[in-house]
Each structure stands twice: as C-alpha cells, then as structure tokens.
Amino acid sequence: MQIKSYLVEQNIQNLNTDFALFYGENLGLKNEFKKMIKINNQRDEFLNFDQNELLKNSNIIINELSNFSLFQKKKIIYINNATDKILEIVKEIYESLNGNKVFIFAGVLEKKSKIRNFFEKTNNLSIVACYSDNEITIKNIIQKNLKSFNGLTPANLNTIIENSNLDRIKLYNELEKIKLFFSNKLITEKELQSILDPNFQDNFNLLKDAALLGRKEETNKLLSSTILESEKNIYYLNLISQRLIRLYDVIKEGEKSSIENALNNYKPPIFWKDKPIFLSQINKWSKRKIKLILKDIYHFEIKIKSNSFISKEVCIKKLLLDLCSTANS
C-alpha cells in the first residue's frame, strides 16, 4: 500500500505496518523516518544491515528474526541500500517476521522495479516514496525548527532556503549553526549572512579539529592566522561543546557494540568527509576527559558572559590550547 510521505512525517503511526519500504532520492527524509521509528520503539532492539551483507549471507537476518522468545525484546531491523537483488530475501523476511519489524531503505526505484512492485501489490505492506524537497517543504522545516526565534523575516527565511540548496541534510546543518549562534533567539540579517558563509565555520573547524587531535604546533599556527571575532565567542564555545558531546555519545554507544556501529548509527549523522577526523579524535579522548573539559567550557562561558572587561579572544585561545594538552594527556 502506498502512503504519502507527509502523512508519515505528521505521525509515524500512519505507517501502520511491521514491514515497509522507503525509497527515493531524499536521504534526509529517510534519515528522519529512521529517527522517528526509533523514538516510537525505544524499548525494542535495533539492528542495521546493508544489502551487501544479506547478499553474502541471507541467513543472517532470518536467524535474527527466528531467534525469538517471550522474554526477549522485539527487534526493529533496518536494511539499507536495497535494490531488486534482494527481492527473494525480502520475500523470505516477510514470511519470517515473528512479531518483529523490518524497514527497508532504497535509493531511486523505477516503476518497473521488482521490489517496489512487491510492496505496492502485497497486502499489509507499506511503501513510502521520498522525493526531493522543494521550497515549500524546506520552508516548513525552517519555520517549525525556528518557531521560538525572533527575526525570522521573509528575507532571512529566503536566505536560509537559498543556502540549503533544497537539501534537507544541509538545511539541518545550517539550522544547527543558527541555533548555536543565536543563543538569544534573535536572528539578525547581517550575522545570519555571516554564519551561513562556508568560510566562516570552516576556518574555526580547522582550528577546533587540530586542538581536539592534540596537534599543538598546528593549533598555534592556525591561531596566529585565524581571526576570532569577539561577538562570536559563545558560538565558538558551542561548536566545541557540540563536538565533545558527540564524541562522548559515540564512545559510550561504542562500548555496547563497536565504535564503527555507533558512528554509523549516530543521529544526526556525522558527515562522511568528517568521519576520519572524528575517529582520530575518539582515539585521543575518553569519557572522563570529555566530562572534565566540558566543565571547563561551562566556567569559560560564565566568565565571558559576566565580565565585560575580560579578553574573550584570549579565553578562546586558552581553551583551544587546553584542548591540545588534554587530548595528549
């Protein structure tokens, strides 16, 4: 049965099935559905498989579904990057659910696609097309996420829409920056243009990443060539805190399975270009060290906010050098 994506966005219960296929080019929307399913089934056990894993060993998922007792948690299984190659495996899964739930995620599927036709024509199954976003859907996301902010004028709204390139994943990254920067919840046009400039965050990210990797020489070199704007100091602190919290979360989840699994399943996802650096930083940090430095950041923020005479640039530079030292300790 075909279900409109906007109905599932409104309420994941509208999916009304234990076996569904999500397909299309909108990766951001599919990621949202994964998150919604997880929130709606928090007590269940989540497993992730890729099509290639099933092609190598189709029994791996059948065994998971068959291994069921009254005392076990129900299983929610995601199958990613699906194509027609696993149609027969999908049919076998359908006959082996045993009260578990399976959600399949695919890219673009043509009308003649066998796996698409199977879900469209089989009773009790659901299929959701995830088409590209347009200006209306992007605008709705912005307004929903920034509804508590002042200054979201039509001009500022259009600036965010244009900067997103109608890409939901990029949009959420931009919204995250906006929320971090405008902590007073008052959006101004000049500052909005500034933080949406790709060079703005990229320069500080290089500095932040070098510090978190404990590269003191590189950090000092970047400090001498990077202008730290005093009015953005809280934003800088938020960017550092955000990264440390993500490192903490992945390390903690990695203790349950593996760092690789924790990283691949992290939401919001770590950008693929950022993963090698993120993994290197994990090797430098522990939960204990992250907790200690987050306390330092909290005190830095209080000091910056409460003392108008203090050199905020000096505080940020000291923090970055402290990150270097802690990473290498």
Q: Which of 103-107, 225-229, 235-239, 241-245 has the lowest mean pLDDT?
A: 225-229
139 with 219, same domain: the answer is no
95 with 165, same domain: the answer is no
Question: Are 150 and 178 in contact, with CB atoms under 8 Å apart?
Answer: no
- The CATH number of residue 105's host domain is 3.40.50.300
Question: Are 79 and 102 in contact, with CB atoms under 8 Å apart?
Answer: yes
Assess whether pLDDT exceeds 60 at residue 204: yes
Question: Final residue of a domain: which of 129, 161, 179?
Answer: 129
CA nearest to 28, candidates 36, 16, 38, 17? 36
pLDDT for position 165: 85
Q: What is the mean pLDDT of residues 148-175?
A: 89
Q: What is the mean pLDDT of residues 179-203?
A: 78
pLDDT in tens, 10-61: 999 898 899 999 999 999 999 999 999 988 888 888 899 999 999 999 889 9
99 with 140, same domain: the answer is no
51 with 149, same domain: the answer is no
Those residues whose C-beta lies under 8 Å from the C-beta of residue 319, and which sit 6 or more positions away, are 237, 240, 296, 297, 300
246 with 143, same domain: the answer is no
Amino acid letter, residue 199 = N
Question: Final residue of a domain: which of 154, 173, 196?
Answer: 196
Q: Say whether 71 sits in a helix, a strand or coil.
A: coil
Those residues whose C-beta lies under 8 Å from the C-beta of residue 14, and which sit 6 or more positions away, are 3, 7, 8
Q: Say whether 148 sits in a helix, a strand or coil.
A: coil
Amino acid letter, residue 262 = A
123 with 147, same domain: the answer is no
Secondary structure (DSSP) of 238-262: HHHHHHHHHHHHHHHHHTTS-HHHH
How far is residue 267 from each of residues 174, 175, 262, measured CA to CA in Å?
Answer: 15, 15, 10
Q: What is the mean pLDDT of residues 155-159?
A: 91
Total domains in the fold of the chain: 3
Q: What is the domain extent for residue 209?
A: 199-327
Angle at 126 between CA 125 and CA 127, to 5 degrees: 130
pLDDT for position 233: 81
Secondary structure (DSSP) of 260-315: HHHHHT-SSPPPGGGHHHHHHHHTT--HHHHHHHHHHHHHHHHHHHH-TTS-HHHH
| Secondary structure E strands in 83-156 | 101-106, 126-129
